[in-house]
Amino acid sequence: MTERKKSFTTLSSKPINRLYTSEDLKGFEESRDLGKPGEYPYTRGIHSTMYRGRLWTMRQFAGFGTAEETNRRYHYLLEHGQTGLSVAFDFPTLMGYDSDSPRAQGEVGVCGVAISTLDDMEMLFRGIPLDKVTTSMTINGPAVVLLAMYFAVADKQGVSLDNVGGTVQNDVLKEFIAQHSWAFPPDPSMRVVVDMIEYCAQHAPRFHPVSISGYHIREAGSTAAQELAFTLADGIAYVQASVERGLDVDAIARRLSFFFNAHSDFFEEIAKYRAARRMWAKIMRERFKAKDPTSWIMRFHTQTAGVSLTAQQPYNNIVRTTLQALSAVLGGTQSLHTNSLDETLALPTENAVRIALRTQQIIAHESGVTNTIDPLAGSYFVEKLTNEMEDEASALIQKIDDMGGMLKAVKIGFPQKQIADASYRFQQQVESGEKTIVGVNVFQTKDEEDLEILKLDSSISHRQIERVKAVKARRNQQQVADTLKILKQAAENSTNLMPGLMQCVHAYATLEEIMTVLKGVFGEYHDPGIF
């Protein structure tokens, strides 16, 4: 039997040694403060007790069809032990179109829930008190409208915004870099994000109005170090814009959360999370001079890697998801979504999503990994990899700083080009066999097992369109016109958009009506096609 290679390479082309010793960490204590959990620079976790005190939030991403159907799935997940909600919106909603728009045809409720008015949002959370559960909403271009709808539901439930917790993704820079569900050009998009940060800091102190997301950067093909660097550079841009608005950094720092991808290289991912906390703590304390120790803390959600799931031998995806979830837990995540085995083929069935949730519960209650805090700390390999991850990501952030910041880097296509190159390298590795994907380029089988997948009711689109039309017919049309006029004035006068938006959604103005007004002031963004 031949000996395996002496060293291996991660996607970022960093060589992995056969063996790590204390020699790899010479000067470690002096140069990198490992510290204790709950203490600066938080390498070992943001809480002194971590999972000994409280488990991470188990938050399964879900949404399909109408608000009524998705509401049933939410109740199902909560009944089976899920501890937080996560909303997947359909593509028309992500792009700011109503379900009855000609541009929504064929996509209504297909891969997410359709939300066009406050009436839909009320149905989505029927029977779910918003002061008892936290909700994460994955929405970006029209995020400000969906946030207003969510707050309006809380108001209708009699819940004070002081008691509403959760997150709206709202990471528009990442959209220009990776996911492309944008609405406005970069500069007004940044203005809208800061409006939301400002409003939540003043009125909804438990809500995070932006979740700075590396997940989609990684799904687009970046390396782990690129995911880390570009995510933190986006965070720097949002903090800088808020400070330039005149907001106190300590008042807004706790309003920011992060969202990372749990990919398949187990130790690389753990190192990424540990480096991320340490880097963000230094950025907030040293770059932005935040004084409150809670301002230095990075809080993050993790989702297992959707792009790693395979249509071939889909039951293998349970194993992939388990290992990825375990890396997130060992890396100290605050919240976790585990992908279902069938998500590469369709929306998850109830059986598949229950297995995904049970995966988290088994890690939490049977594996023993929660019994001690940061159990991999002090590992020669993990600490060396964490240091290397920090160095590589810091070098990329410095390049972005030299360009004038992330907003300018996006406009000239720097992160887009970096990701495209990394994605191309990865595909070359798969096709050459250098990168092994079990069931895809090795260990294939001729006869694949049949898998039951979720089939949506073909009447979904019709029912949702009729629902939107009914809301339009029964609302006060003059009130809608008046509130949209107030919103337009706020957009033109550079005053905070949120109060005007709250009036619009309470009047049952639709998502597309509101977005049309804002696009009329801010303009629309067209991809320059930079590579």
pLDDT 10s digits, 42-52: 999 999 999 99
455 phi-psi bin (left φ>0, alpha ψ -120 to 50, beta other): beta
Q: Is the pLDDT of residue 514 over 50?
A: yes
Supply 462's token pair: 């019709």
- Percent share of the chain, pLDDT over 90: 85
Q: Which domain holds residue 473?
A: 460-522
Q: Are 207 and 199 in contact (CB under 8 A)?
A: no
Residue 440 located in a structural domain: no
Scored b (16 or more CB within 10 A) or e, 207-243 reads bbbbbbbbbbbbbbbbbbbbbbbbbbbbbbbbbbbbe
- Structure tokens belonging to residue 477: 């049309």
Is the model's pLDDT at 264 over the cut of 90?
Answer: yes
pLDDT band at residue 526, thresholds of 50, 70 and 90?
confident
User: For all residues of the chain together, what is the average pLDDT?
Assistant: 93
Rounded to two decimals, what is the model's pTM?
0.93
The SS3 call for residue 439 is: coil
In a domain, 255, yes or no: yes
Which pLDDT belongs to residue 6?
38
The tally of domains found in the chain comes to 2
Query: Going by DSSP bridges, is the β-strand pair 135-138/210-213 parallel, antiparallel, or unpaired?
Result: unpaired
pLDDT digits (tens, 9 = 90+) for 477-505: 999 999 999 999 999 998 999 999 999 99
Question: Which of residues 447 and 19 earns the better pLDDT score?
Answer: 19
The residues with which 207 forms a beta bridge, in sequence order, are 166
Cα 166 to Cα 361: distance, rounded to the nearest angstrom: 21
Contact 515, 523 (CB under 8 A): no
Identify whether 47 is part of a domain.
yes
Domain assignment present for 139: no
- pLDDT tens across 226-238, in order? 999 999 999 999 9
Residue 72 lies in a domain: no
Residue 53 has pLDDT above 70, yes or no: yes
User: Does 355 lie in the same domain as 208?
Assistant: yes
Q: Is 131 part of a structural domain of the chain? A: no
- What integer is the mean pLDDT of 191-198? 97
Find the range with the poorest average confidence among 27-41, 270-284, 361-375, 479-493: 27-41
Considering only CA atoms, which of 173, 167, 21 is closest in space to residue 85? 167
Q: In this structure, are residues 277 and 43 in contact, taking their beta carbons and an 8 Å threshold?
A: yes
Cβ partners under 8 Å of residue 149, min gap 6? 115, 117, 118, 121, 505
Last residue of a domain, one of 416, 432, 448: 432
Asked if 412 and 465 sit in the same domain, the reply is no
- Residue 306 domain flag: yes
- Compute the distance between CA of residue 223 and CA of residue 9 in angstroms, rounded to an integer: 12
- Tens of pLDDT, residues 239-255: 999 999 999 999 999 98
pLDDT at 430 over 80: yes
**Domain shared by 425 and 466, yes or no:** no
Both 354 and 479 in one domain: the answer is no
pLDDT at 2: 39
Mean pLDDT of 256-276: 97
Which of 380, 415, 432 finishes a domain? 432
Number of Cβ within a 10 Å radius of residue 494: 9
pLDDT value at 421 more than 50: yes
Q: CATH code at 343?
A: 3.20.20.240
Whether residues 286 and 428 share a domain: the answer is yes
Encode pLDDT of 281-317 as tens digits: 999 999 999 999 999 999 999 999 999 999 999 999 9
One domain for residues 219 and 317? yes
pLDDT of amino acid 215:
96
For 63, 217, 249, 314, 369, the CA distances from 112, given in Å and listed in that order, are 4, 20, 35, 21, 33
For residues 173 and 268, membership in a common domain is answered with yes
> Which residues sit opposite 16 in a β-bridge?
8
Does residue 76 fall inside a structural domain?
no
Instruction: Note the pLDDT of residue 5.
Output: 41
Higher confidence at residue 10 or residue 226?
226
Q: Identify which of 408, 10, 11, 355 has the alpha carbon closest to the alpha carbon of residue 177.
A: 408
Based on the domain organization, do 247 and 173 belong to the same domain?
yes
Say if residue 206 is in the same domain as residue 321: yes
Please indicate, yes or no, whether residues 413 and 298 belong to a single structural domain of this protein: yes
- In this structure, the answer to whether residues 290 and 414 fall within a common structural domain is yes
Same domain, 243 and 200: yes
Structure tokens at 239: 């903090």
